Amino acid sequence: MHIRPTLRPVDWSNVDSKGHTIRRARSSDDEDDDSSDHPSRKKYKAVGQAAIYYPPTLTPAELMWRQRYGFLYQRGYQLRSRYHPEWTPLISGNGRHHHSGEDHIMQILPQVLDAVRLRDGLVVCIKMIQDLRKLQQVQITQYFSTDRMMEDSANHVVPCYDAFLDGYSSHVQFIVMPVLRRFDDPEFLVASEVMDFVTQVTEGLAFLHKNNVAHHNLNADHIMMDAKALVPTGWHFVSHFCEPDGMTKIVPRDRKNHPVRYYFIGFGSCYHINPRDKPLVLNIGGTDDDVPELFKGTPYDPFKLDVYTLGNVLLKELYDKYEGIEFLHNLIEYMRTQDFEKRPSAAKVLARWYAIRHTLNEEELEETSLVLRQGVKPRKRYSPEQAVTSHRAPGLHQNMATTSSAPPRSYQNAPEQHASGARRY
């Protein structure tokens, strides 16, 4: 018997900004329905009937990437097989689960996608910028990616590998960056790892402000890390808790023995202000709703806003979650001064942190395990054999893709793929 399954379109209103499904609370109407004319019934599958699975179709955002598959290939970047114009879903899945082929994994963030750089096999992140108001992030990242700026270890702006205009729409621009993970994915394990994180981000913010750039939206989602040392196998760009095959769970290593570097991303609303001008702006001010000056409707200093939002990250993502990092308390209070005119600059925050760090015993911090505070739930845990090196499983971003299929016939003369066919991370 031939069965034609009906594909249900994705309801994006039920998905939050991190790609998680929003659970809808049961209403009183639902309860009434269940208790009266429509009693709940357990559904049974007919004996001997084979389960039917199907890969999700491309979303409208994914169709935009598929349209540009050949263009990006000519530019030297190969998208995953799911976005090939002649893509046919792997009906057999990945050989272990019928419905879990790597090409079944849908894109979550519509503006970013992974690709393989053909000249060397490096897995990169390509961002599609469609908002003309946010094109400044291209110039900012390019400036901080110059040789002179990259020589400074305090530079924590995400590197820009390449940038180019779209071949289809003149108002669209692409920027190519490294594949990163969120800064706390996987979790911090000991206090010394937190100390290194605070050092890097405070140095990075002071360096950014020294060069007259205010990020203006430095929340937790805009602080990333290069996690190649923690996950040498690479990880799937969307299913970040899995290896590139989309099924094998990653086994992350610890930061103490495998140091990482943190980066700032998301410069779409940043300000470059001439040092001779007064640094006052009047804007929506990013996504941090706790910043007090944003509720007054008067001009504020975006540099001081950065200090507050970074202090909020330290408070909400670290201090409120873990026991064993009480040394952050005074620094956080200092950064979260309510009056922005009295709030310290990033340079003063860095000096205060250096003074605090000088009083700490790093060897003791390396032995101080972080414990979640009462009532704080960890993220999705890794499997038991991974529990030695981490508390939980990841929460956002990226890496690695499976080998994409050959380019469309009209692009056979595009750059050849890296000779070995291997992917670098």
Confidence at 39, pLDDT banded by 50, 70, 90: low
User: What pLDDT score was predicted for residue 100?
Assistant: 57
Cβ pair 235, 399 in contact under 8 A: yes
Counting beta carbons within 10 angstroms of the beta carbon of residue 209, is it exposed (0 to 12), middle (13 to 18) or buried (19 or more)? buried
d(CA 25, CA 249) in angstroms, rounded, equals 31
Each residue of 322-365: pLDDT tens digit?
Answer: 999 999 999 999 999 999 999 999 999 999 999 999 999 999 99
Residue 199 corresponds to which amino acid?
T
The full set of domain ranges for the chain reads 60-411
Each residue of 125-136: pLDDT tens digit?
Answer: 999 999 888 889
d(CA 328, CA 311) in angstroms, rounded, equals 10
Each residue of 353-370: pLDDT tens digit?
Answer: 999 999 999 999 999 999
Each residue of 268-319: pLDDT tens digit?
Answer: 999 999 999 989 998 877 889 899 999 888 999 999 999 999 999 999 999 9
Q: What is the CATH number of domain 60-411?
A: 1.10.510.10
N residues, the chain: 425
Give the count of alpha carbons within 13 A of 329, CB side only: 6
d(CA 354, CA 383) in angstroms, rounded, equals 38
| Alpha helices per DSSP H over 2-146 | 28-35, 60-67, 69-74, 136-144
